[in-house]
C-alpha cells in the first residue's frame, strides 16, 4: 500500500458526517442543504441536445485522443479570446480535462520532483482539499497562506518567507476563491509572477468560479493578468476551468487547462499514461457549452437575484456580506449565549442541523491551523446552489436559529 495515503486528511464532508452522525434533524422541517457546492440550476438544453446528437452519430465507436478533438481545443481557445482577450495556440496551449478537480490533482503529479530536498507546495488557507491531497501524494510538504479578513479574505502570501518560496515547486491559487469568493487583483498576480520567476515554481490557477460574479467587471483571470503584464508566453502558469459551475453540468466532468506550452506538453504526456481522455459525447457537449454565452449570462443573473434576496436576511443576524464572486457566503458565527469573540462553528453547525434541519459546512473543516490560527474557525460556508425559494427558506431558518443561539436559547 502506498504509505503516502496515510498522510491524507479526511475530506471535509466525511469529517462533517462523523461530527453529525448522532444528530437527529428536526423532523417537523424539511431538510435543506447549503453544505455542498453542487450546482442545481437547470442544465442547458443545448448541452443535452449535443449529447443526443453525438450518440446518434455513433461517436462511441472509437477511442478518443487524450489531446481532444481540434474542434474542442479551438472552441476553448475562442472562449479565452472572448472572455479574457487572450490568444493561445489550440494545438500547444490547450488541453481538455475531466473537470478541474482531477486536473488540479494530476498537475501536482506532473510537476513535483519529490527527490529534491524539501519539495513544497503552497496553497491558500482555507482551501479546496484537492490541493493538499495532490501535494501529499506527490511526495511534497504543504505550506499554507492564511486568508486575511482585513483584505476581503484574500490569501496573505506575505506569510510565506523566502526560504519556503525557494523550496516551492507548485503554488495553487484560487480566484475567485473557495470559500471566500475573493478575487485576486493585478498587483497580487504581479507579485506572484515575480516570485515564480525568482524561484522557478509553477502557478496552478483554479478559476472554476470565474463566471458567477456580482460586480459589473468580470473577475481577472491568470492568463489575462499575465498578458497585461507582458508575459505572453505564460511562463510557468497554467489555468484550470470547468463547465460544472458555468453551465450547471457537474455530472458531465468537463473542463480544460491552458497556459505555458511546455507545461501543457508535460501534462499531456502524464495524462496519456494516466488514461484520462475525454469521451466523445462529453467533447461534443463541451463544444456546445463553451461556444454559447447566453445560458451563462442567464445563470449569472439567477445567482445575482438569489444573493440579493438571501444575503440581507442572513445579515440581520450574522456578519456576512456579498462576495466578489462564486456561489458561497462566508459567514461569521456569533458567540453563543451573548458571549464575546468568535463563535464555535462546529457547535453552531450541529445545533443548526438539529433544530432547523439546515446543513452548512463549518469553516474550520476547510482550513488547517497555520501561523498560529485556523482561519476558517468561527465561520460557516453556505452554498446558495438551490433555487431561490429554498435558499430563502433556509436563510429565514438560520436567522431565527441565530437569534436563539445568541440569546442562549439554542441548547448550545
Let me know: does 118 contact 167? Beta carbons within 8 Å.
yes
Query: How far is the C-alpha of 227 from the C-alpha of 271, rounded, in Å?
Result: 27
Give the cell for residue 402: 441565530
Cα 337–chain centre separation: 34
Query: How far is the C-alpha of 324 from the C-alpha of 178, rounded, in Å?
Result: 11
43-76 burial, b at 16+ Cβ within 10 Å, e below that, comes to: bbebbeebbeebeeeebeeeebebbbbeebbbbb
Intra-chain end-to-end CA distance of the chain, in Å: 43
Q: Rg of the chain's alpha carbons, rounded to an integer?
A: 21
Task: Please check the confidence at residue 362 and state whether its pLDDT lies above 70.
Answer: yes
Domain parsing of the chain, residue ranges = 3-42+295-407, 45-292
Task: Please check the confidence at residue 176 and state whether its pLDDT lies above 70.
Answer: yes
| pLDDT bracket for residue 307 (50, 70, 90) | very high
User: What mean pLDDT is reported for the chain?
Assistant: 95
Query: How far is the C-alpha of 126 from the C-alpha of 118, rounded, in Å?
Result: 23
pTM for the whole structure: 0.95
Tens digits of residue pLDDT in 1-57: 999 999 999 999 999 999 999 999 999 999 999 999 999 999 999 999 999 998 887
The pLDDT, as a whole number, for residue 140 is 98
| pLDDT bracket for residue 255 (50, 70, 90) | very high
Domain 45-292 annotated CATH 3.40.640.10: yes
The pLDDT, as a whole number, for residue 275 is 87
Tens digits of residue pLDDT in 177-200: 999 999 999 999 999 999 999 999
Average pLDDT of 226-235? 97
The pLDDT, as a whole number, for residue 411 is 60
Residue 152 or residue 169, greater confidence: 169
Q: What whole-number percentage of the chain has pLDDT above 70?
A: 99
Task: Please check the confidence at residue 290 and state whether its pLDDT lies above 90.
Answer: yes
The pLDDT, as a whole number, for residue 62 is 83
Tens digits of residue pLDDT in 67-125: 999 999 999 999 999 999 999 999 999 999 999 999 999 999 999 999 999 999 999 99
Q: Options 3.40.50.300, 3.30.460.10, 2.70.150.10, 3.90.1150.10; which CATH number does 3-42+295-407 get?
A: 3.90.1150.10
Task: Please check the confidence at residue 412 and state whether its pLDDT lies above 60.
Answer: no
Amino acid at each position: 500500500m502506498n504509505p503516502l495515503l496515510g498522510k491524507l486528511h479526511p475530506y471535509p464532508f466525511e469529517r462533517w458526517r462523523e461530527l453529525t452522525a448522532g444528530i437527529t434533524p428536526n423532523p417537523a422541517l424539511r431538510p435543506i442543504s447549503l453544505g455542498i457546492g453542487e450546482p442545481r440550476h437547470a442544465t442547458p438544453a443545448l448541452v443535452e441536445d449535443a449529447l443526443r446528437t453525438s450518440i446518434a452519430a455513433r461517436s462511441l465507436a472509437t477511442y478518443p485522443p487524450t489531446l481532444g478533438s481540434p474542434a474542442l481545443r479551438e472552441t476553448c481557445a475562442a472562449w479565452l479570446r472572448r472572455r479574457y482577450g487572450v490568444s493561445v495556440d489550440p494545438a500547444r496551449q490547450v488541453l481538455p480535462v475531466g473537470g478541474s478537480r482531477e486536473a488540479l490533482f494530476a498537475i501536482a503529479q506532473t510537476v513535483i520532483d519529490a527527490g529534491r530536498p524539501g519539495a513544497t507546495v503552497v496553497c491558500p488557507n482555507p482551501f479546496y482539499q484537492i490541493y493538499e491531497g495532490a501535494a501529499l501524494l506527490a511526495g511534497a510538504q504543504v505550506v499554507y497562506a492564511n486568508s486575511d479578513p482585513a483584505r476581503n479574505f484574500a490569501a496573505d502570501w506575505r506569510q510565506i518567507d523566502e526560504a519556503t518560496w525557494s523550496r516551492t515547486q507548485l503554488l495553487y491559487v484560487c480566484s475567485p476563491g473557495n470559500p471566500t469568493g475573493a478575487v485576486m487583483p493585478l498587483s497580487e498576480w504581479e507579485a506572484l509572477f515575480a516570485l515564480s520567476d525568482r524561484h522557478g515554481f509553477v502557478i496552478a490557477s483554479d478559476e472554476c468560479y470565474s463566471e458567477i460574479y456580482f460586480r459589473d467587471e468580470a473577475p481577472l483571470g491568470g492568463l489575462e493578468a499575465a498578458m497585461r503584464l507582458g508575459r505572453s508566453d505564460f511562463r510557468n502558469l497554467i489555468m484550470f476551468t470547468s463547465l460544472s459551475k458555468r453551465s450547471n453540468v457537474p455530472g458531465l466532468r468537463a473542463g480544460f487547462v491552458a497556459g505555458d506550452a511546455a507545461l501543457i506538453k508535460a501534462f499531456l504526456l502524464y495524462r496519456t499514461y494516466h488514461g484520462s481522455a475525454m469521451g466523445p459525447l462529453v467533447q461534443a457537449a463541451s463544444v456546445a457549452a463553451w461556444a454559447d454565452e447566453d445560458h451563462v449570462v442567464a445563470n449569472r443573473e439567477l445567482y445575482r437575484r438569489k444573493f440579493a434576496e438571501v444575503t440581507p436576511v442572513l445579515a440581520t443576524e450574522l456578519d456576512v456580506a456579498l462576495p466578489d464572486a462564486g456561489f458561497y457566503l462566508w459567514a461569521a458565527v456569533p458567540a453563543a449565549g451573548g458571549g464575546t469573540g468568535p463563535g464555535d462553528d462546529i457547535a453552531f453547525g450541529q445545533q443548526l442541523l438539529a433544530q432547523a434541519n439546515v446543513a452548512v459546512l463549518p469553516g474550520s473543516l476547510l482550513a488547517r491551523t497555520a501561523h498560529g490560527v485556523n482561519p476558517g474557525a468561527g465561520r460557516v460556508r453556505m452554498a446558495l446552489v438551490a433555487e431561490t425559494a429554498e435558499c430563502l427558506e433556509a436563510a429565514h431558518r438560520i436567522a431565527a436559529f441565530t437569534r436563539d443561539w445568541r440569546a442562549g436559547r439554542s441548547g448550545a
